[in-house]
């Protein structure tokens, strides 16, 4: 059974990691995917693999104008948006004293404002049965040392997800958040090179390893699918047990 036959899915941060794995999975299950990323070459090469109805659009999610253009392009092409996966994000290392104001503002813009912009412009084009998934993080559930801006942004995405779910339930739109633990993607690759850090992180994961991006894509697909028809406002943790102990 193809869960997403003829569904239109807009995915941000689709050129890499969790977004790319989700674009591939949704397309395999029948979706027309719109891949949005700053890295338009990466998005275009994935889109080329995913068949004629996939398209890639260059977009800086921290720009309201870019998101407005993204949503317009998707609607011009397909007439509606069934699934919105707000996934683009950047990390940021430092305490509140270490981090500079410009970086704080950038992290909040890319990780939080982007979600509002996409919802603001997309929801009017989402029919009943639509689904939004926002990528938060377990860093948004409890402070991770020296991730002040990231913790703040992801915590806000979690509660904003609940607000969206409540506001748009009567429109027939479900909204849920994914909270990954440690996933093997370029965002964590740098930190994983630091001596001992990978081992230290993995020692705190009951399953004993980081996740592969495909293990996040399968959760996103569930939340975006009819299988989750009664699931809205949920914060879905997929962290190998990290926050369970």
Rg over CA atoms, the chain = 17
DSSP state of 146: T
- Is residue 7 within 8 A of residue 27, CB to CB? The reply is no
Distance CA 59, CA 138 (A): 26
* Spatial contact of 109 and 57, defined as CB atoms under 8 Å apart: no
Q: How far is the CB of 240 from ligand NAD (least distance, A)?
A: 11
Strand ranges across the sheet with 83-86: 55-58, 32-37, 8-12, 83-86, 131-135, 174-180, 235-238
Among residues 116, 117, 145, 150, the one annotated as catalytic is 150
- Considering beta carbons, is residue 13 or 155 the nearer one to ligand NAD? 13
Closer CB to ligand NAD, residue 45 or residue 53?
45
Residues near ligand NAD (CB under 6 A) are 12-13, 15-19, 37-39, 59-62, 87-90, 110, 135, 137, 180, 182-183, 185-188
Task: Give the Å distances, CA to CA, from 201 to 70, 104, 193, 233.
Answer: 36, 24, 12, 29
Which residue lies nearer to ligand NAD by CB, 36 or 165?
36
Q: How far is the CB of 216 from ligand NAD (least distance, A)?
A: 7
Q: How far is the CB of 225 from ligand NAD (least distance, A)?
A: 20
The label of the residue with tokens 């398209």 reads 55
Q: Cβ closer to ligand NAD: 5 or 105?
A: 105
Shortest distance (Å) from residue 66 CB to ligand NAD: 8
SS3 helix, strand, coil % of the chain, rounded to 5?
A: 50, 15, 35
What is the spatial distance between Cα 171 and Cα 59, in angstroms, rounded to a whole number? 27
**Helix/strand/coil for 149:** helix
Per the CB < 8 A criterion, the answer to whether 20 and 46 are in contact is: yes
Catalytic residue at 150? yes
CB 167 within 8 A of CB 123: no
Cβ 14 to ligand NAD, closest distance in Å?
Answer: 7
Residue 188 vs 225, nearer CB to ligand NAD? 188
> Could you list the active site residues?
150
């Amino acid at each position: 059974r193809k869960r997403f036959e003829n569904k239109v899915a807009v995915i941000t941060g689709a050129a890499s990691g969790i977004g790319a794995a989700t674009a591939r999975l949704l397309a395999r299950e029948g979706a027309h995917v719109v891949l949005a990323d700053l890295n338009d070459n990466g998005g275009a090469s994935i889109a080329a693999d995913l068949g004629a109805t996939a398209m890639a659009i260059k977009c800086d999610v921290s720009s309201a104008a870019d998101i407005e253009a993204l949503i317009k392009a998707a609607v011009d092409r397909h007439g509606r948006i069934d699934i919105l996966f707000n996934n683009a994000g950047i990390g940021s290392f430092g305490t509140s004293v270490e981090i500079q104001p410009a970086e704080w503002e950038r992290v909040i813009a890319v990780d939080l404002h982007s979600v509002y912009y996409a919802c603001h412009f997309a929801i009017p084009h989402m029919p009943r049965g639509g689904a939004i998934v926002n990528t938060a993080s377990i860093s948004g559930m409890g402070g991770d040392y020296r991730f002040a801006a990231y913790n703040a942004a992801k915590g806000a995405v979690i509660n904003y997800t609940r607000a969206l779910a409540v506001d748009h339930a009567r429109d027939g739109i479900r909204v849920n958040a994914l909270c990954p633990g440690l996933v093997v993607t370029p965002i964590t690759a740098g930190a994983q090179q630091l001596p001992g850090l990978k081992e230290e992180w993995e020692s705190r994961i009951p399953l004993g390893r980081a996740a592969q991006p495909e293990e996040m894509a399968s959760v996103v697909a569930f939340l975006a699918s009819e299988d989750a028809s009664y699931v809205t406002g949920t914060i879905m943790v997929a962290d190998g047990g990290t926050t369970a102990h």
